[in-house]
Amino acid sequence: MKTKYLIMLSEIIDKMEIKDELKNLEIDTGDEEKDNEELGKELIALLITRIYKCEKEVYTFVAAFKGYLPNKRDYEYDPDEDPNYSGPKDAEQKQLELDKKYKKDLKEALIKAEEENVVSIFKEIGKIEGIKSFLA
């Protein structure tokens, strides 16, 4: 799991106020596959009942997880890389243009994330190595 996803999930879990409930999720029927399936169902139910508390963060996480989220560093103007650089005013104007493009691209990414199936995404996350220990 990428560090940025871990940080985003931590923020989401904190805002949802489900830390204690996550610690208490336990299923032990003796069938590991069945236990994992049931645990996944309970986790998804818990997430769905509290997801409203962090709507913006969930859209941002989904956009990042699906690769839609623009990287802010790609929108930083560097006069050293611009052969047409003509001074500080020029740099300021070009940075404003890049900031405007970033906001537009971010908005489009979040709109795209709104259309994703969040249940399937959380199921996918649940399969990531080490996620159970993070959530426990």
pLDDT for residue 71: 95
**How confident is residue 133, by pLDDT bands cut at 50, 70 and 90?**
low
Q: Both 77 and 110 in a single domain?
A: yes
Residue 131 lies in a domain: yes
pLDDT digits over 70-109, tens only? Answer: 999 999 999 999 999 999 999 999 999 999 999 999 999 9
Q: Both 50 and 2 in a single domain?
A: yes
Residue 26 lies in a domain: yes
Q: Both 3 and 44 in a single domain?
A: yes
d(CA 45, CA 42): 5
d(CA 73, CA 70): 9
pLDDT for residue 134: 54
Q: Is 82 helix (H, G, I), strand (E, B) or coil?
A: coil
Q: Both 131 and 105 in a single domain?
A: no
**How confident is residue 19, by pLDDT bands cut at 50, 70 and 90?**
confident
Number of domains within the chain: 2
Angle made by CA atoms 35, 50, 128, in degrees to the nearest 5: 45
pLDDT for residue 132: 55
Residue 39: count other Cβ atoms within 10 Å of its Cβ.
Answer: 17
CA distances from residue 47 to 12, 70, 86, 99, 114 in whole angstroms, order as listed: 10, 26, 52, 33, 16
Domain that holds residue 111: 67-115
Residue 81 lies in a domain: yes
Q: Both 106 and 121 in a single domain?
A: no
> Range with the lowest mean pLDDT among 4-8, 32-36, 45-49?
32-36
